[in-house]
Amino acid sequence: MRAPVRPIRGRWPRPLEARLGRAFRVDPLTILDDDADPSTFREAMSSTYVGDTIKITGSGRHAGADDLLIGALDLRQAAIVDVGASDGSTSVDLVERLGEFRSFTIADLYLTLRAVDVLGHTAFFDGQGRCTLVAGRRLAAWPGLSRPVALLYSPLISAARRRQARAREVLLLNPSARRLIASDPRVGYAVHDVFTPWTGQRPDVIKVANLLRRLYFSDQDLLRALRALHSSLPEGGHLLLVDNPRRKNTPPGVGLYRREGDHFTEVARSGHPEIADLVTLVGTGEPSLN
């Protein structure tokens, strides 16, 4: 999605929507509905910007990675943390396959927004107070993507800022994930930054999918994240890295690694994990990065 303003599906004449269907987006306010259809919620999330990234999400994306993890490890007493889980859809997929486990935490740096209703619109603000989305009856706008759009919507955004006392917190978890958390005391969620060590009880397995990629971070930053993950695991704990490159004829890359001393040892692999070369550098001192 490149255009900073998009028409909302179902709010315009049918002939126009039929002609320009790809330009339309599902109503972003779907993320406010606790009872929304999970697939519609995921589509609405794909129009949500937080932390300068789009909350792209989906279900059924990590079947191969989940197969590899379940086939390689006995997880019946495992504490598992899914870092960078977005709306938790793929976390739900994995939990439903696990059966027995000790605990499962759905973790992401961006799990909440604050929503303010103003002048017939809803403005969404992130944790830094930036307005990331404005949704009206017919149009959705992303002020952070365009200075002219930010200027156009500035009076409305300013009015929303004055009403912050009326803001409501929006949990960016799929309704299916919320229902799972409500029904299974072993499952919870937490805000977590992949670049910092885990502060709770050390997990036995950390899964990181579609986050630690060279598309998003430099090799220096990726190594920093890998070191934080290493320190978050106990001796013998496991790290599961998953890449879904979304390129034609490019299968997902999956790597399962065990913490052994100051480094990681590969346990199993499927395809070609993008940063497998960096995983081998953890614990080797100052790496030489070209």
pLDDT tens digits, 233-274: 999 999 999 998 766 667 789 999 999 999 999 999 999 999
Which of the two residues, 60 and 145, has the higher pLDDT score? 145
Q: Could you tell me if residue 210 is left (phi over 0), alpha (psi between -120 and 50 degrees) or otherwise beta?
A: left
206 φ, ψ (degrees, to nearest 5): -120, 125
Using one digit for the tens of pLDDT, what is the confidence trace for 67-121? Answer: 999 999 999 999 999 999 999 999 999 999 998 999 999 999 999 999 999 999 9
Q: How far apart are CA 197 and CA 290, in angstroms?
A: 26
Q: How many CA atoms lie within 13 A of 14 on its CB side?
A: 0
Using CA of residue 200, residue 203, residue 209, residue 214, what is the dihedral sign?
positive
Q: How far apart are CA 27 and CA 38, in angstroms?
A: 14
Using one digit for the tens of pLDDT, what is the confidence trace for 112-160? Answer: 999 999 999 999 999 889 999 999 999 999 999 899 999 999 999 999 9
Q: 0.85 cut: is pTM over it?
A: yes
Q: How far apart are CA 8 and CA 125, in angstroms?
A: 20
Tokens of 58: 């989906």
pLDDT band at 289 (very low <50, low <70, confident <90, very high): low
Q: How far apart are CA 183 and CA 251, in angstroms?
A: 34
